Amino acid sequence: MRRLLLVSAVALIAAAPPEKPKTPSEIVAEAPASAWRDISADDLLVMELRNGARVVIQLAPQFAPVHVANIRALAKGGWWSGAAIYRVQDNYVVQWGNNESTRPLPAGVVAKPPAEYHRALKGLAVRPLGSPDAYAPSAGFAGGWPIGYDPKAGTANLTHCYGYVGVGRDLSPDTGTGGELYAVIGHAPRHLDRNIAVVGRVIEGIDRLSPLQRGTEALGFIKEESQHVPISSVRLASEIPAAERPAFQFMNTQSATFAAYLKGRANRKDDFFIRPAGGVDLCNVNVPVRRKP
């Protein structure tokens, strides 16, 4: 079989001759240590599934502080014991949780959090995307996260990109506690932006969620409880003994390295490409994240 060169964002490509522009992968591989930021162990949620998969979620307390505090309290309070993935909808979401109607919330969990669907733009150092966006007046990056923002209204919101994690809720004004979460496994459902609290992103193991068997009921719910995917544990990295604790870094989106990476993502010039787009969708940029070296 021909091994076709349909390259992807994550492909590691051999170093090109110096006259060629660096590929996005090369820019990330050669990024200086100063371009990276450690992720706090309190911002890492480690979910182990009974099938052996491990999923690591980076939390975004700067965008949804009450929901993130809830998620931490839920983890510490043993909420996820007995929980399972009960919904897998193609080109949409994987969703997991526990029974909020019968199970008491652990101490410290706010039962009715505020609608943390956006925050003040003020206080954020923004790197503009430089391409138009269908869902927000402007799009860009702040603190390592993709955002939509509205300079006139002075608001900014996390966006529903692939792998991003939101809080399941019922009809408004319910905002969800964080006791049921979902991760995006398809084309970014950006119409959910500013309608749901986005609380983070899967930074390792999304490829263990996305291949799960799709549920056959409406909205991808899994019909038989015996077919649910049981969760073994959900812990903050800070609860894990230091020696076993995973550690990650994300790229500082204000760094010159990220600026070069963003430019490269919008103007793909790998040998494969004959027409660089000259633009890029917010959810196709993928802020680089890595295991801490």
Q: Which amino acid is at 159?
A: T
Q: Which of residues 145-174 bind a second copy (CB under 8 A)?
A: 161-163, 168-172
Identified binder of a second copy from the candidate list 23, 131, 159, 253, rule CB under 8 A: 131
Is residue 56 within the footprint of a second copy (CB under 8 A)? no
Smallest separation (angstroms) from a second copy to the CB of 178: 13
Is residue 126 within the footprint of a second copy (CB under 8 A)? no
Is residue 85 within the footprint of a second copy (CB under 8 A)? no
Pairwise CA distance, residues 31 & 79, whole Å? 39
Cα–Cα separations (whole angstroms), residue 161 to 43, 239, 285: 19, 28, 10
Contacts of 145 (CB under 8 A, 6+ apart): 60, 63, 158, 201, 253, 287
Identified binder of a second copy from the candidate list 71, 74, 156, 206, rule CB under 8 A: 206
Is residue 120 within the footprint of a second copy (CB under 8 A)? no
Identified binder of a second copy from the candidate list 117, 248, 250, 261, rule CB under 8 A: 117
Identified binder of a second copy from the candidate list 42, 48, 100, 239, rule CB under 8 A: 100
Cα–Cα separations (whole angstroms), residue 185 to 82, 182, 200: 23, 9, 14
Identified binder of a second copy from the candidate list 221, 239, 240, 254, rule CB under 8 A: 221
Smallest separation (angstroms) from a second copy to the CB of 105: 13
Contacts of 43 (CB under 8 A, 6+ apart): 58, 59, 60, 61, 68, 200
Pairwise CA distance, residues 78 & 125, whole Å? 36
Is residue 122 within the footprint of a second copy (CB under 8 A)? no
Q: Which of residues 15-54 bind a second copy (CB under 8 A)?
A: none
Peptide bond preceding 113: is omega within 30 degrees of 0, i.e. cis? no
Identified binder of a second copy from the candidate list 7, 16, 53, 110, rule CB under 8 A: 7
* Burial class of 171 by CB neighbour count within 10 A (0 to 12, 13 to 18, 19+): exposed
Nearest of 136, 169, 183 to residue 155 by alpha carbon: 136
Is residue 212 within the footprint of a second copy (CB under 8 A)? yes
- Which tokens go with 10? 């994550």
Nearer to a second copy, 201 or 236 (CB): 201
Helix residue ranges, H only, the chain: 24-29, 65-76, 206-209, 256-266
Is residue 92 within the footprint of a second copy (CB under 8 A)? yes
# chain residues binding a second copy, by CB under 8 A: 79
Binding mask 228-267 for a second copy (x = CB under 8 A): -------------------------------------x--
